[in-house]
Amino acid sequence: MTGTSRTERGEAAGEEAGVGEPAPRDGVPPADALLALHRSGTLAARYPEAQRLVAELDGRELVRAGNLLARLDADETAGLHPGIPAARVAITGHGTLPDLLPALTAQLARHGILLRPFTGRFDGYVLELGDPGSDLYAAEPDLVLCVLDPAVVFDEVAVPWRPADVERAGLEKIGLLKGLATAFEANCRGTLVLNTLPLLRRYTAQLVDHRSRARLGALWRELNARLLHLCEEHERVVVLDLDPLAAEASPASDPRMSVYAKAHLSPDLLAAYAREAGHLVRHLTGRTRKCLVLDLDNTLWGGVLGDDGVDGIEVGEGHRGEAFREFQRVVKQVGSQGVLLAVASKNDVEPVRKVLREHPGMVLREDDFVHVVANWRPKPENVAELARELNLGTHSLVFADDSAFERWLVRSEHPDVAVVGLDADPALHAERLLADGWFDVRETTAEDRVRKTRYRDERARRDFLHTFDSIEEYLRELDVRVVLAEATGEDAARVSQLTMRTNQFNTVTHRLGVPEVRDLLKDARTRILTIRSRDRFGDNGTVGALFTRWADDAVRIDGFLLSCRVFGRGIEQACLAAVLRHARAGAARAVYGAYLPTPRNGGVAELYPRHGFARAAAPPGGPPGPDGSEGVAWFRHDLAEIFTPPDHVHLTDELGGNAP
Amino acid sequence: MNTIDDFVALVRDHLGLPVTAEDAERTLDQVPGWDSMHLLWLLTTIERETGRSVPLPDLLQATSLHEMYLLAVDR
């Protein structure tokens, strides 16, 4: 998210490791291996290894790991490992937050990200967010965690008090926070995280009558609801609801820490908060997962299909059967929001199909999955095949299996697959799956609701392809139609999502939030062009975007990205040629294209050279994108001779005269 | 945790502070890397690792790691 991170030049070692369970390492438990690194003074030097170890820790071991890692100088670690993606996170709030920094350091490490913290002053949030000249804003954070606690309100209430006094003080604070959110959006490009205030018994029980307690409970929740609604008025504000976390972390506050040290939220609650914040950072750095790959036997149903038969498996009825059914309901719910579902199972395919089609206890059916792989090959092979079939990197996959052996195999072969360990009790499956928010995003778009269909159309295309002798013939018959148009405000959510999700065909890999896309749309020199495509199998929707900018008498392509579903069909050539033609028509002297290598976008390294661009010095107009990036390679096209794009692509150019 | 050495090891391996047995006798302002946040981490860590409750006001007044150790064990 910072110079190095937002552009995601993650070295292989910095890739997110699967989370949550130990892998054999010559018999040394990961916590001990981490401690050995600490004791030998090599934690910083071997940070990528430390991150992989932390990914296997939980509970107290994770707390300790956070303490050890938080002691390191983050700038020094970043200097030693420029390839590790980093996130600049500012921590501010009302009380002291002793446990948050180590907990957050550990959570980000689990996801292969280095925390570069800015820690605000005690109770400094009003000045730090309200003053445009504050040190917090000077630190240019990607994310600001403004941690609020119930004392924010109760500190302002004089004794004796009635519920109405609490309401008055609360409403004042909400007003203050609204102002701070507005100031934040004016002064910082990052994301502000606020949170609801847990109501503690230590307050409610001070009221001796139940009627007043109920009033306090009701008005407190109204205050929290107002807080939660702030994220509707402020696009770059996220409000974490602490109620679900407080319901599971016990206790939410330690009175001794609260009174003596002004630490009003308990270490356990802050650890849960840090976990959620970690998911948010993972999303903002473009590492949200796209596909959930599930085992079948003892994952989606109880028993072994091959041994027990279609009628013998447990699903739908009986204690365990109901638990599996509940898990399937959760999976279906997750799948309804744009997450692709797939199966990788060691089974014969026919009985699997029979269960998916006919078993009365099943919630999930064949058409809930984009792909079902059932055979007797090793699972890592099947996982790799799934990734190929769906045209996704293995870093986009989450793999859930009840077998520790299978999980270990997949983890060993594909270290960047996130592996979810399910155990023998199916009632715990859903919690295990949901614990790490693998698919969390800021918001979903219309595209998410039709994604499964798009991938299914894609399979039809592939089957169609197999009926042709040559790719050219296939592409001609595919009847690819492309519309290149200037983006409007309505496209902002989808364009942002493309920048977040696209890893392979993405020339510069800048992750942009919706407000950042809107800012670019307002910038008179910048144009965002959307690429929509359709073919004989259906509409692909908005599949790509080009970020162009006039600088002096040249046009720069600061970013070019295309969904992995559609590249390789000539769409990229058609769009690139159109941009070149428009630039020439607009009397540009040249067009420049930027390329910033990441571990995932090697496929577009030759995009510009292959289409008549030559390596060149950086053009005027600054770095591509708002945050500046080292390591960008520039290519220049002199517009003398523009290549002819493949004639099977029918391009409708809606750019008008002056674009790009 | 039975000895001051155990305590120093806990500070070193749980909080990550590079302290020695000699540092335990120094006043806190002379302990390398010490700041007030560590005291709160230490309280949580001691209670978590020993299952014993430590009086925080006394801990806040302790002037050296050794005094903290005595508070952590002598109850």
How do residues A56-70 score in pLDDT, each as one tens digit?
898 889 999 999 999
Q: Is B35 near chain A, with CB under 8 Å?
A: no
pLDDT in the model for residue A660: 54
Dihedral pair phi/psi, residue A558, rounded to 5°: -75, -25
Express as a percent the part of chain A with pLDDT over 90.
Answer: 72
Quick check: B42 pLDDT over 90? no
Please tell me whether residues A248 and A352 are part of one structural domain: no
pLDDT at A5: 39
**For B32, which residue in chain A has the nearest alpha carbon?**
A71
Instruction: Say what the pLDDT of residue A626 is.
Output: 42
Structure letter (DSSP) for residue A660:
-
Q: Of A434, A466, A491, which marks where a domain is finished?
A: A434
Q: Which of A147, A148, A125 is nearest to A136 (CA)?
A: A125
Does any CB of chain B come closer than 8 Å to the CB of residue A96? yes
The alpha carbon dihedral of B55, B57, B60, B65 has a sign of negative
Number of domains in chain A: 3
Distance of CA A571 to the CA centre of its chain: 27
A599 with A457, same domain? yes
Would the pLDDT of B74 be above 80?
Answer: no
Strand partners, A539: A534
Q: Which residues contact A12 (CB under 8 A, 6 or more apart)?
A: A599
**A418 falls in which pLDDT band (50, 70, 90)?**
very high
Q: Which CATH number is B4-73 given?
A: 1.10.1200.10
Model-level pTM? Answer: 0.80
Of A82-96, A190-204, A346-360, A628-642, the range with the lowest mean pLDDT is: A628-642
The answer on pLDDT for A16 being more than 90 is no
The average pLDDT across A417-441 equals 94
CB contact under 8 A, A261 and B14: no
> What would the mean pLDDT of A405-420 be, rounded to a whole number?
91
- Residue B3, chain A, CB below 8 Å: the answer is no
Q: Each residue of A169-216: pLDDT tens digit?
A: 999 999 999 999 999 999 999 999 999 999 999 999 999 999 999 999
- Please check whether residues A150 and A230 belong to one and the same domain: yes
Give the closest of A67, A256, A267 to B16, CB-based.
Answer: A67
pLDDT score at A160: 97
Q: Let me know whether A59 and A149 are in one domain.
A: yes
Range of the domain at A201: 12-284
**Domain boundaries along the sequence of chain B:** 4-73
What is the structure's pLDDT at A657? 58
**Residues A293, A340: Cα–Cα separation, whole Å:** 8
User: What would the DSSP string read from start to end of A27-42?
Assistant: T--HHHHHHHHHHTT-
Are A84 and A78 in contact, with CB atoms under 8 Å apart? yes
Other C-beta atoms lying within 10 Å of the C-beta of residue A333: 12
For residue A441, being part of any structural domain is answered with: no
Residues A651/A572, Cβ–Cβ less than 8 Å:
no
pLDDT band at B39 (very low <50, low <70, confident <90, very high): confident
Do A132 and A241 lie in a common domain?
Answer: yes
State the pLDDT at residue A7: 36
Say if B17 is an interface residue toward chain A (CB within 8 Å).
yes
List the one residue out of A370, A559, A531 whose CA is nearest residue A450. A370
Estimate to the nearest angstrom the gap between the alpha carbon of A467 and the chain centroid.
38
Q: How confident is the model at residue A303 (pLDDT cuts 50, 70, 90)?
A: very high
Residue A33 has pLDDT above 80, yes or no: yes
Q: Calculate mean pLDDT across residues A507-521.
A: 91
Distances (CA, A) of A266 to A66, A95, A270: 16, 11, 6
Q: What confidence score (pLDDT) does residue A232 get? A: 92
**CATH number of the domain to which A480 belongs:** 3.40.630.30
Q: What is the mean pLDDT of chain B?
A: 87
